[in-house]
Amino acid sequence: MKKSILIIGTIVAMTACSQPKNPFLTEWDTPYGVPPFDKITLADYIPAIKAGIEQQEKELQEILDNEEAPSFQNTVAAYELSGEILDKVTAVLFNLQETEDSEEMEKVAEEATELITAQSNEISMNKKFFERVKAVYEADQSGLTREQQMVLQNLYKSFTRNGVALDDASQERLKEINLKVAASQQKFGNNLLAENNAFKDKFGIPVSSYTSEMTTCEDRGRREEMFKAYSSRGNNGNEYDNKALCLEILKLRAEKARMLGFDTYAAYALDEQMAHDPQTVDEFLDKIQKASNAKAKEEVYDMQKIMDEDIAAGKVEKGSKIMPWDWFYYAEKVRQRKYALDEDQTRPYFKMENVRNGAFAAAHKIYGINVEPVSGIPVYNPAVETFKVTDADGSLLGIFMTDYYPRPSKRGGAWMTVFRDQYVDKDGNEVRPIVLNVGNMTAPTDSEPGLFTVDEVETVFHEFGHGLHGLLTKCTYPSVSGTSVKRDFVETFSQFNENWAFQPEILAEYARHYKTGEVIPEELVAKINNAHKFNQGFMTSELCAASILDMKWHELTMEDLEKMSEGDQAANVAAFEEKVCKEMGLIDEIIPRYRTTYFNHIFNSGYSAGYYSYLWAEVLDKDAFEYFQQQGIYNPEVAAKFRKLFLERGGSEEPMVLYMMFRGAQPDPGALLRARGLE
């Protein structure tokens, strides 16, 4: 939810006697208002959810009962600041479910999801509320700020996109669909976590270490076994099989889109994004895939030559050809030959704490902000570390937390989230955000600290880029602050921040040998940067292939999906994937980065018909970085302009308007191809 914070008032007084110890129903007297994780128990969530729903229902009723003519302040702004309790509890519950999951937590999250979805349905289909919003929307907006206009526009469209105009019977069916989708998505995520843990039990490594293991494992049979286990997660015919769930979610989404006037869910989802329609995305991805496929074929040729040497030496069976489970292993051999770059050489210089400090140092150099550790802050796990972020003038920007290492209770991948949004409360006080970066990077061992790969270094900078977007925001309303922008715009700033990871001036700040303290040698820096475009045929192909697979699933109609759900679902899902990969020209040695049954982004996150946004945003980020390079990459005026127009503005303006104000021109699609060495 993106609406916070109103003084608790009546509902707390009503519940304090019966549940005096529920931390969600009291003011938090912790430093900086961080959630009191040490006082929260599983038993607190559902009562707090119910109290929060009751509170927001009362607040909404006050809006509806207001006899004054609808205005932005008494309708839209009032709604923006409603639901404090609900915002507090959902931020903690669903973030901790991703990092501290358990069977008990899953049960709580499932019940909470059902309650929250039902309440969201009631609000989004409340015709009386919509009439007030509509009256404000259709009135003269010239007296509103641009941010207020965007907040109003977004709220109005959320009603029309969530079925407010449907008849009563259709609304009831849409509510049912929303509930079923929410429950199925929860189940998908739970299944995937179980499959990830099963992979670890079988091979002794977490899923997050799969790429590293495949890169160094000399045993081809083990590589094949790991590849097949990794790529069949959620597709094993066991209790955690996701095929039926995927098809069910897709059918429900397609039905929802049809009810709201769209032929497919992709058309519905893209109607509010920068790309706007599936055809635009399909054409965009097709150009990238053709370029990356061509480059990938060259990469296969280079790897096969080294495999042929291994065949001649008796290390590999005669007649062997590069297979998907050989890619990481032989790509690393090619890289070592072409660039004499070995991860064993670089990792000692990328100790976790140093890399994180490097991301902080880059932000200081570019934006003038400061990040320093703070103690005495409640955390949800001992692995979490906390920092205070301040501006050049010493003013507080926010609290930043990191949680970088894998554990069985944490889902795979890396992400940024918040425990509190930035906004201005009803008394005019600015509330600063509490931001969290989560990862699954190489953990310390008994003999050495966490030493990161080059990819993991980029991940730290990537997620801190999202963090900066959340920390530097200066908006009034929570629904447009921070990363609350169009989905195909949000990755621009995380990917932009990756550009600084291996700049020589930044590396000199943080890349020091964990034993000797020696700064990383210039020749090793040169090797890293020279190899930066290496293997981009593969990297781009698998990313683009996953994006296309996502689009093609969501471009299916209800009828297509109903037919696919009949008979052998496993065969139908496999056949569809094979058809999509063949049509895009994906070479046999590569599979999509995510196959259907473990594609968490599109079945349990906000990227359905939207995974393309990573590549779409990369065009913007690379074009913007080229502008920095032209003007001087540490030009303070350019950095201040970037910060003011993008990182501070959140979703308070249309993305392309902001981009044109920054760049003075449309983004050049060729910037992505140049950056990846695909031209």
Q: Which of 84, 147, 463, 653 is catalytic?
A: 463
Answer yes or no: 27 catalytic: no
Q: Got the DSSP string for 159-189?
A: HHTTTTTS-HHHHHHHHHHHHHHHHHHHHHH
Q: Is 298 exposed, middle or buried (0-12, 13-18, 19+ CB in 10 A)?
A: exposed
DSSP letter string over 206-273?
A: -GGGHHHHHHH---HHHHHHHHHHHTTTT-SSSTT--HHHHHHHHHHHHHHHHHTT-SSHHHHHHTTS
Phi-psi region of 80 (alpha: psi -120 to 50; beta: other; left: phi over 0): alpha
Helix/strand/coil for 73: helix
**CA gap 621, 644 in Å, rounded:** 16
What spatial distance separates the first Cα and last Cα of the chain, rounded to whole Å?
42
Which sign, positive or negative, has the C-alpha torsion 522, 528, 531, 533?
negative
Handedness of CA 442, 190, 493, 369 (dihedral sign): negative
Distance CA(483)–CA(473), nearest Å, equals: 8
User: What crossing angle do the helices spanning 103-124 and 42-65 adopt, rounded to 10°?
Assistant: 10
Contact 554, 608 (CB under 8 A): yes
Q: What angle do CA 576, 488, 482 make, to 5 degrees?
A: 140
Alpha carbon distance 282, 295 (integer Å): 20
CA–CA distances in Å: residue 299 to residues 68, 84, 198, 678: 68, 54, 32, 12
Give CA torsion, residues 27, 33, 39, 45, to 10 deg.
70
Q: Are strands 396-403 and 434-438 parallel, antiparallel or unpaired?
A: parallel
368 φψ region: left (φ > 0), alpha (ψ -120 to 50), beta (else)? left
Please give the angle made by the CA atoms of 465, 30 and 52, to the nearest 5 degrees.
85
Distances (CA, A) of 56 to 12, 15, 82, 89, 127: 12, 15, 6, 13, 17
Q: In the structure encoding, which two tokens stand for residue 649, read together?
A: 């503005």
Reduce the secondary structure of 16-45 to three states and give it as a string.
HCCCCCCHHHCCCCCHHHCCCHHHCCHHHH
CB-based contacts of 28, cutoff 8 Å, min separation 6: 34, 35, 36
CA dist., res. 282 & res. 584, Å (int): 10
Three-class DSSP category at 512: strand
Q: Are 2 and 421 in contact (CB under 8 A)?
A: yes
Nearest to 381 by CA among 359, 401, 358: 401
Q: How far apart are CA 137 and CA 131, in angstroms?
A: 10
Catalytic residues: 463
